[in-house]
Structure 1
Amino acid sequence: MDGTTAVAIYGEMRLPVFSLGTTVLLLALTLPAAAVTGFLFGQRQRARTLAKGKIIDKVLGETTLGAILGLLGLLLAFSFGHALSLAQTRKVAVIDEAAALGTVFLRADYAGEGARTDLKTAIYDYTLTRVVPDVARVESEADVRAFLETSLAAQAKLWPATLAATDGVEPPVATFIASAMNDAIDAHLYRMQTFAVPVSDVTQLMLLATALASLFLLGNRAGMQGRVLSWRTFMFSGFLFVVMVTIVDVQRSSAGFVQTDQSPLLVTIFDMEQALRL
């Protein structure tokens, strides 16, 4: 399969619908707005109830509110744990790929004299494509596909270069080099898999819906009981905002404050450059 057409296989790789900045703004607006909306609905419902001569139930909605808050805590814990696990998995994938590329580059020294430089140059060129650009250069799915196409095109040259470099060498040496090259190519698959996590989108939607529902019910209960919407509700909204933004930030590997460390790849590239200059 051609390297430029293989990109279509990675159908689960997609950018988030909203940028991190847009997500932060939406959360900052919708979370307190849910509490205010619930409070206004509660006031209106209280007025209607009193107009009918009925008594306001003082424990109205406590069971529902407690259940929603319990569910919210569970989803927050699950989402935060999943985000940390995903970030660690991506970090390990980068380290493993850098190690695999460094290993095959060193083993290329055992290749035939004529094709050795070509093989090491092909490995170096491929390694350059494994560094994910910063978020400013990957703003759309087209940018992601272009980046991936460049990487796959460079990868497609590795195996032919390996065959040429091991032509005529002893079989054990050829196996020694080819196995390292196979590991380097396989590292691409493991790393790409860390970008295909559709469960993150589902859990984030569930978390957002539960957070909005809990704040709505908090505001609604205050309005029904004739109390003012206190600062405690907005403080709770603020804590939710911080935790949810942190979860979103950790889940995005190339944007925000918590990004996947690519220094292992950069160090590997530096070592390759030094070796090629010798």
Structure 2
Amino acid sequence: MHLLNYPLAVFAVSFLAFAFSVWFGHAVLSRYRTKDTETSTDLGIIQTATLTLLALIIGFTFSMAIDRHDQREIFEEGEANAIGTEFLRADILPQKASAATKDLLMQYVDQRILFYSKQPPEKIREIRIKTDQLQTALWNEILPSVKTQATPAMALVASGMNDVLNSQGYVQAAWWNRIPLTAWALMAAIAICANLLVGFGARNFEKNIGLFMIFPFVISVSFFLIADIDSPRGGVIRIEARNLVALKNNLTQQMDASSPSSGSK
């Protein structure tokens, strides 16, 4: 199980680790704390520097997660545009190939919408296999017409299908593009050090345990939010296939309007 795919687990583990760090800093490390003013001043400087660094690291990591989230949304929109454009260009093909291509594109849109929904790993593997099969079928459907009719119009059909296939690859690459584990490790290490210093400098820890637990809680919430945004499938904040769903509805209306039964009514 990849822990970072489960933001709630990230929150639970980080809160326990940070809370223990505060307790350890007070119960163990504070024994080595001296009472003179100079040491207290130095401790304040170190605490301030560490907390500032932690805030910067969390801010940078959050920015990385937001950038990746926005990129996935842009690629979802691009994928819908590519499929919609190719659906229109399919009219250039001979009638039989055009109808078959449009039918395959409708099936392909269904699979792409399923890809963006929350699914178990086994279902995701099935969707990827089905997507690969449909991509092969789509390319094989237009290939004979493109080969026999080397015209600029057919070149547009081939180019549009190429965009459809490439857009799916861009989406998959964006979903695999996550915050590096080294960045998470660095952020966690700095957070643990910051919590150790909070516990080390605590003077009335036993009387105000709840107060000192606020800092681990806030940092854990930050970790949860970053993990949630960075996880395209496992988080609460997910990429929704809004453009693909709108495209599906639009294409369905076009297919219904152009069907012989609708024209005879």
C-alpha separation in 1, matches of 2:142 and 2:228:
40
Can you list the C-alpha shifts for 1:144-174, whole angstroms capped at 9, x where unaligned? Answer: 4433222112111111111234465561221
**Which letter maps to 1:134?**
S
* SS of the residue 2:28 aligns to: helix
- Pairwise CA distance, 1:55: 9.9
Query: Is 2:185 aligned against 1:205?
Result: yes
Q: Note the alpha carbon deviations across 1:199-252, whole angstroms, 9 max, x for none.
A: 433222221221121011110122xxx443645532222322222211111111
Q: What is the rounded CA distance, in whole Å, between the counterparts of 2:38 and 2:49 in structure 1?
A: 21
Structure 2: gaps (5+ residues): 260-265
Instruction: Work out the number of aligned pairs and report it.
Output: 254
Alpha-carbon RMSD across the aligned residues, in angstroms, is 2.7
Partner SS, residue 130 of structure 1: helix
Q: Structure 1 stretches of 5 or more lacking a match?
A: 1-13
Does the Cα contact within 8 Å between 1:96 and 1:187 map onto a contact in 2? yes
TM-score normalised to structure 2 length: 0.84
Q: Alpha-carbon deviation of 1:272? A: 2.4
Partner of 2:96: helix, strand, or coil?
coil
- The sequence identity of aligned pairs, in percent, is 20
1:80 paired with 2:62, answer yes
**Cα offset, 1:259, TM superposition:** 1.1
Equivalent residue, structure 2, for 1:70: 52
Q: 1:92 aligns with which of 54, 74, 91?
A: 74
172-181 or 254-263: which moved more? 254-263
Structure 1 residue 29 displacement after superposition:
2.2
Aligned to 2:205: 228
The aligned counterpart of 2:263 is none
Q: Could you say which residue in structure 2 is the equivalent of 1:6?
A: none
Quote how far apart the aligned CAs of 1:83 are. 1.0
Report the Cα distance in structure 2 between the residues aligned to 1:271 and 1:165, rounded to whole angstroms.
26
Moved more, 211-220 or 201-210: 201-210
Which amino acid in structure 2 is aligned with residue 240 of structure 1?
I
- Secondary structure of the 1:195 match is helix
* Aligned ranges 1:26-37 → 2 under 5 Å: 26-37=13-24
Does the CA-based 8 Å contact 1:42-1:221 persist in structure 2?
A: no
**3-state DSSP of counterpart to 1:61:** helix
Offset at 1:124? 1.7
Query: What does residue range 1-278 of structure 1 map to in structure 2 within 5 Å?
Result: 17-46=4-33, 57-131=39-113, 132-135=115-118, 137-138=119-120, 140=121, 143-166=123-146, 168-169=148-149, 171-222=151-202, 226-228=203-205, 230=208, 232-277=211-256, 278=259
